[in-house]
Amino acid sequence: MAQQAESAELKAPKGLRGIVADWSSDETAFKVSWSKAMMWIFLLSDTFVFGSFLIGYMSVRMSTSEPWPNTAEVFALSLGGDPIPLLLIAIMTFILISSSGTMAIAVNYAYQGNKKMVFILMMLTCLFGLSFVGMQMFEWSKLLLDEGLRPWGFIPGSHFEGDAAQFGSIFFMVTGFHGLHVSIGVIYLAIVAFRARQGRYEKKGNYQIVEIAGLYWHFVDLVWVFIFAFFYLW
């Protein structure tokens, strides 16, 4: 089998002819399956969207001459004592990064053909994702109900001032858009997990769909790292 694979690689055209052969075969692109290539293209387009949001936030933040809300105070969480800055956000970040680990292990088990572990680890990843979305909903409710922040401004009399109107609109837009990606990812991963448990990919002899789902999930986690740095630490 190894000799056949090597001979096939030697026979495969290289250079420009190889690229043309890949695309014209309608099976691979640059020796990558079409499904994985399309996921990479989608993630690239999504990178431009999130990049535009974050660049817009930087532009507003650096050009403002009025006081910007203190994120250490805005996102503080009290557990019966003094408020702890960014406690909830730190937990959310830890959960989402941990979910990348479980997803990576699931991909490894997928290529081993262990559908039981794939199902368990992907569902654990979904559980992490749901926990993240639940905490984000709690964060939003706290800002909307307790802090007086709104997507279009802030309630007069609250401790927000200065450019809080711009802060609220950008914050809710970016974190909401990311939260939507996480929610869609949870549904996507759950569908793939149940299909893997049913042995659908085992019959086809190809578990690459698990890796493709993992690419999406790792992208969502990576975007959150930038949101965390821009909105909560800056």
Q: Are 232 and 71 in contact (CB under 8 A)?
A: yes
Classify residue 8: in a domain, yes or no. no
Evaluate whether residue 200 is within a structural domain: yes
**Long-range pairs for 25-34: beta carbons < 8 A, 24 or more residues apart:** 33/208
Q: Is 223 exposed, middle or buried (0-12, 13-18, 19+ CB in 10 A)?
A: buried
How confident is the model at residue 26, as a pLDDT? 52
Torsion 53-58-64-66 (CA) sign: positive
The tally of domains found in the chain comes to 1
- Is residue 7 domain-resident? no
Q: What is the pLDDT of residue 74?
A: 79
Structure pTM?
Answer: 0.83
Which of 55-64, 99-108, 115-124, 156-165 bottoms out in mean pLDDT, i.e. has the lowest?
156-165
* pLDDT tens per residue, range 105-161: 999 999 888 999 999 999 999 999 999 999 999 999 988 887 777 777 666 666 566
Q: Which domain holds residue 63?
A: 36-75+84-233
Q: Is residue 12 part of a domain?
A: no
Least confident of 25-34, 92-101, 185-194: 25-34
